[in-house]
Amino acid sequence: MDVGFIGLGLMGRAMAANLLKTGHKVRVWNRSPGSADAMVKLGATRVATAADAFCGDAVVTMLANDEAVRATLIEGGLLASGRDTVHVNAATISAALAKELVALHEKAGIAYVAAPVFGRPDVAEAGKLNIVAAGAPQALARVQPLLDAMGQKTWPVGDDPVRANVVKIAGNFMIAAAIETMGEATALCRAYGVETADFLDILTSTLFASPVFKGYGAIISEKRYEPAGFPLPLGFKDVGLALKASEEAHVPMPFAGVLRDSFLDALAQGNPDKDWASVAEVAHRRAGLER
């Protein structure tokens, strides 16, 4: 397929690389032009503007947040083009912006699929992402080969793209909650002389032997917070998205407020480049157990 790809951060580069590896023709654009260099070496075509990428059989966007999506797609005029393409939006965005994008795509006559992903950069590199997708069945069918190239499984959740974005928000809330839980539990154990690594080895090998607990448990045990696979500010942003979505739907999420404060506490320590797993250190610091 002839594919445009917009947004070449750690995740975007890995996803675009897998499209190239599976034989797709890929045109790339990024707000910071240098990020496209690695993709060009792999065979991608660098284009001068986002509009040059927003065409072809499909275009995948993987932008950092609401602001980047709004600036590139809406303020940049891409959604007023009416081009015959399928837009696959892989970004984690707010429920409010998700609803706005659905309306704008319908008005422009552009087919739209929301396809946020679960997985860190190493998972993206391996083509093992889990992709939550929602959109019109015919649009989803057209881009399924692209989703297959980037992920190990596509999880369809209906024809309303907003649903996929809410699943992603809720999923990231659960990951953040798991990290906070491990931080508080390991602080308690350390206060009684049990080392973090010993405790997490027991729990992630038995009761919590799941990818999130095992993966983030290892990061916490080793304090392997740099380089960040998912930086603290993005984690703070995603917890905020859960709170905003809950307010709009009148769904109480009291623990989301606790998470927000923990992430804000971590950011207040001046470590924005650390992985969001470092929020586990907040519980240790509050307990006077600096590691």
Could you give the residue numbers annotated as active site?
A: 168
Beta bridge partners of 174: none
Reply yes or no: is the peptide bond before residue 252 cis, omega within 30 of 0. no
Nearest to residue 277, comparing CAs of 129, 178, 130, 169? 178
What is the token pair recorded at 133? 């997708």
Beta bridge partners of 154: 131
Check if the beta carbon of residue 276 is closer than 8 Å to that of residue 179. yes
Check if the beta carbon of residue 243 is closer than 8 Å to that of residue 289. no
Query: Cα(first)–Cα(last) distance of the chain, in Å?
Result: 50
Amino acid identity of residue 224, one-letter, is R
Which secondary-structure segment (H or E) carries 258?
Answer: helix 254-268
Distant-in-sequence, close-in-space partners of 273: CB < 8 Å, separation ≥ 6? 226, 227, 228, 231, 232
CA distance 61 to 80: 16
Angle between helix axes 161-191 and 95-108 (nearest 10 degrees) is: 160
Check if the beta carbon of residue 203 is closer than 8 Å to that of residue 189. no
